[in-house]
Amino acid sequence: MPLYEKARVEAYLPDLPKSAYQDLLASLDQEFTYTFGGCTIVRGLDGSYLSRAGEKLQDRITLIYTDTPYVFKDNFEIISRYADKLRDAAVRALEEEAILVVVLSVYHSI
């Protein structure tokens, strides 16, 4: 069976009990589900990062991701703009130094 390339969009969000964080996760869940047909949420991940001040900080992370119908290399500009808009919306919604949005190429067996 052939493999089919798709672009995956991932957002790594701090896992905090504040309503802004839960609201953003719910909004991304709805966005990914209605735009691309579904998403996956992985909760309770452990992570760490360096703050702008150079301090190592521990973080609990929630990962939400979806696979788009787009071939990565053929639709790079569209995917890049979409990822930028997601990151900008997340930064506006949360009190965080940075939000990680990742786009990568994945292959599905259909």
Res 97 pLDDT > 90: no
Q: Please report, for the chain, the start and end positions of each structural domain, with discontinuous segments joined by +.
A: 3-109
What mean pLDDT comes out for the span 1-7? 89
What mean pLDDT comes out for the span 62-70? 96
Architecture of domain 3-109: 2-Layer Sandwich (3.30)
User: Exposed, middle or buried: residue 22 (CB in 10 Å: 0-12, 13-18, 19+)?
Assistant: middle
How far apart, in whole angstroms, are the C-alpha atoms of residue 46 and residue 73?
31
Percentage, residues of the chain above pLDDT 90:
72
With the CA atoms of 40, 46, 50 and 52 taken in that order, what torsion angle do they form, in degrees rounded to the nearest 10? 60
pLDDT of residue 10: 97
Cα angle 38, 16, 56 (rounded to 5 degrees) comes to 110
pLDDT of residue 51: 81
Q: For residue range 25-52, what is the model confidence (pLDDT) as tens digits?
A: 999 999 999 999 999 999 999 988 888 8
12 within 8 A of 87, measured Cβ to Cβ: no
User: Exposed, middle or buried: residue 68 (CB in 10 Å: 0-12, 13-18, 19+)?
Assistant: buried
Q: Give the 3-state secondary structure of residue 103.
A: strand
Res 12 pLDDT > 90: yes
